[in-house]
A and B are shown apart, each in its own frame.
Chain A
Amino acid sequence: MLKKAVGVEVHFPHSQLACWKCRAAPSDLPVCSRCGAVQDFPDGLSHYETLGLGPSLALNEEELRNHYYALCRELHPDQHIDKESRQSIYSLRWTTAINKAYQILRDPIQRSQYVLQLHQVDTAQLKPALPFKLAETYLDLQSDGPMGKEIFEDFKKEMLAEIVKNEQQWDPIARQFDSGVDRPSVLRQLAQYMANQKILSAMANDLNKRWKE
């Protein structure tokens, strides 16, 4: 069995199958607690389940990394090289899935997007809620006309302020999500946060390009 990483509760789903090696039924995941053999990676696990984590939005980055390293040390194919080929294949499948899950969950933006997707929240329709003046200047900027330095500086200042404001929302949303209270409302807030985030990062990118010119 895996050691519990500091601060992270680890619960892998239960396997439906008996251990392929010692026939203990049904086996634990990802390794059989009786004989230690790596089990096959079951289809259909969420990224959270793949890492043996509950569906937390406010994951602590450092703890998540420690946990990911512990999983890799246990499951990476390089640690199973001299074992039977079945173990190597299963360890490859687990590690491939774990890498993908970690890649998404380590990043708060991708994690938020994934949580929305898990709860089937449709974000396509959502409009960003930004101050009118900021949006208007941005549209002007996009029309590519010559731009006064003053307008440019103002826009930049306002945009940065807006980014900070939006970022401040994330922590409370994440904490409330993890508490489980009033999920529908939290998900709405999260979706709004994401819509704003998307347009703001597009603005920042554009601005960076222009900055260089």
Chain B
Amino acid sequence: MPILGIDLGTTNSLAGLIEKGRPRLCTGEDGSTLIPSVVSFDKDFHPCIGIDAKKALATESKRTLYSVKRFMGRGRADIVHWEQQLPFDLSPSDAHMVRFAIGEKTYTPIEISALILAKLKRLSEEQFGAKIDKAVITVPAYFNDAQRQATKFAGELAGLEVVRIINEPTAACLAYGLHKKATGTIAVFDLGGGTFDISILHVKQGVFEVLATNGDTALGGDDFDHEIALHLRTAIVETTGRDPWSSVETRTALLVESERIKRALTDAPEVCFSWNGFEKQVSRQQMDQWLVPILKRVEGPCNQCLSDAHLQKQQLSEVILVGGSTRMPFVQKYVRELFSKDPINTLNPDEVVAVGATVQANILSGQQGGMLLLDVIPLTLGIETIGGTTSAIIARNTTIPVSASQQFSTYVDGQTSVEIHVLQGERDLAQDNRSLARFQLKNLPPMPAGIPKIEVEFVIDANGILSVSASEQRSGQTASLTVNPSYGLSAEEVEKMLSEAYANAESDFDKRFLIESKTSGESLVRAARKSLKQGSHLIGQAERDNIERAIAELEAALSSSSDYKLIRKKIEHLEQSSRHFAELLINDAMASALKGKNLANPAEDP
């Protein structure tokens, strides 16, 4: 069974797989491979996902959710500073997890992401003609554990086992390598709608080794839009006295308009902005001035990434650009200056991450011999020690799978238990880092402070799953745990969401495919019968028998089987058996048409 590769983006999401050695992406209703990551709910709370939901943004802003990726794995406290900008409402109750309020209902970012993923799954199943229940999903390299686990859980809710989470810039590099047979040290600069990522990889002999990665999970094109909107708002207020910020609808409309202006300025040096009678010329140069201070925030992560990789910028063989915002001329110029190198902007910045996800999916289904990704942990892992400080056990950018251990001791006489508090992050104080788990090592025999020898071991497998164990060497006491997903949902809530998701999924795929296969099987039988009646003189007895048999087999499958796979097989068989006959029929029809004897197209359904 194929594994789906998915780019679950802030702005757009894409999905696909490798077919006959080439990546193929599924398309939405408008024929585009970019499925807008927008979900809109109608009055009955039926979700609409993708391009149609995006159209509802301006008209139904209170019932339409976008950029939910920014909220994945985050609590209220994480987002206070941009809460004001949102057109939709947040539910006030919950500190651990952001919840969107729509009418009287609330939704978590995980559930909204699950709706998007389910849509991608359905589109792919329809277009690739196979049941899909496994996926590789990409996330920003700088996503922490909670954000990754939340993404994984969203996949599960959508009926997808997430076999691997990979980083977006890494995926982009895989796609680039697939295409170019690249060798060398490659920096991937990924500036999308909501996040910025920088990764440096060494590529050789089909091995993609991530050397270092860094970024900012709250920096992207959305921030550009917001900044542009602020400037335009000032101009509007000054001239007309009306404030677009005064209502949610006009504010959202201005943001949408700002994004349009921004894109237009990628192609033209100057555009005209008009707003209910107010008009203003905006030049690219002017916009660049507004946005440079925001773009400058990429510099810190880039330098840190280079230094973590122990590299000077001159040692990079290539810098590749990924993400919609890298289309902007001033971004390209900035990158060129930052790395003193012409960046490569020839990849399709919208699709490259998804293509990379399909490559990794292919590797993990054992189909892509000769390619291998060596990934790293993005953030330092450690434990809390005396005085509320963090003691690192595995440094960020360490290649996984990996294990490491360290010795600790007690600081109070006669201590009979110690708490192991597992942390993720770069800060010195434990409270500034993310808490991943806590557990106790108990039943220590009382000893003077500093005498117990407590060994704490961290083990990370190839999926990035962390297990921690602790043992006291003198007494032999041990304790261990695998760090469980923690993204602000209680165990009961997780349980409930999953059981609801499974209940819905049950009806899904098999039924739908059975109906579709039956319909197309039946019309194929009718068409084949009709053709035989009209053109059997064109073929010999043996070929006729052959086709008759294939028709009979398909009919038998249609009437007796509820197995869509069998029906599809028989359909293929009939199509194959009658291919030669179909060609003859067409030639014959053409010849007749030329003679003016107008036969109906024999292959056509009545």
Contacts and interface: CB of A to CB of B under 8 A. Distances in A.
Interface of A: 65-66, 69-70, 72-73, 76-79, 81-82, 92, 95-96, 99-100, 102-103
B149 to A, nearest CB: 21
Given A77-B401, A92-B401, A103-B402, 13 more contacts: A69-B207, A69-B209, A73-B206, A73-B370, A81-B364, A81-B365, A82-B366, A92-B461, A96-B402, A99-B399, A99-B400, A99-B401, A103-B399
Nearest to A62: B204
Contact of A100 (B204, B364, B403, B461): B403
Interface string B355-370: 0000000011110001
A77 B462 contact: yes
Contact of A95 (B205, B366, B401): B401
Given A92-B401, A96-B401, A103-B398, A72 B374 contact: yes
Interface string B198-227: 000010111101000000000000000000
A100 B460 CA distance: 12
B153 to A, nearest CB: 23
A100 to B, nearest CB: 6
A99 B402 contact: yes
A128 B207 CA distance: 41
A79 B206 CA distance: 13
A100 B405 CA distance: 11
Given A76-B374, A78-B364, A92-B401, A69 B204 contact: yes
Interface string B48-89: 000000000000000000000000000000000000000000
16 contacts: A65-B202, A73-B205, A73-B206, A76-B374, A77-B401, A77-B461, A78-B364, A78-B372, A81-B365, A92-B401, A95-B462, A96-B403, A99-B399, A99-B401, A102-B399, A103-B398
B404 interface: yes
- Considering the complex of A and B, which 4 residue pairs feature the smallest CB-CB distances, nearest first? A69-B207, A82-B366, A96-B401, A77-B462
Contacts of A92: 401, 461-462
Nearest to B395: A103
Interface residues of B, number: 24
Contacts of B399: 99, 102-103
Given A69-B205, A69-B209, A76 B400 contact: no
A100 B404 contact: yes
A78 B373 contact: yes
Interface string B456-488: 000101100000000000000000000000000
Contacts of A102: 399
Interface of B: 202, 204-207, 209, 363-366, 370, 372-374, 398-404, 459, 461-462
A206 B52 CA distance: 58
A174 to B, nearest CB: 19
A205 to B, nearest CB: 13
B398 A76 contact: no
Contacts of B366: 81-82
B186 to A, nearest CB: 15
Contacts of B459: 96
Contacts of A100: 402-404
Contacts of B373: 78
Nearest to A82: B366
Contacts of B372: 72-73, 76, 78-79
Most buried by B among A70, A73, A82: A73
Contacts of B402: 96, 99-100, 103
B404 A73 contact: no
B510 to A, nearest CB: 25
Contacts of A103: 398-399, 402
A99 B372 CA distance: 14
A70 B398 CA distance: 19
B461 to A, nearest CB: 6
Contacts of A69: 204-205, 207, 209
A92 B461 CA distance: 7
Contact of B207 (A72, A95, A96, A99): A72
Contacts of B205: 66, 69-70, 73
A79 B373 CA distance: 10
Nearest to A76: B372
Nearest to B163: A81
Most buried by B among A69, A70, A100: A69
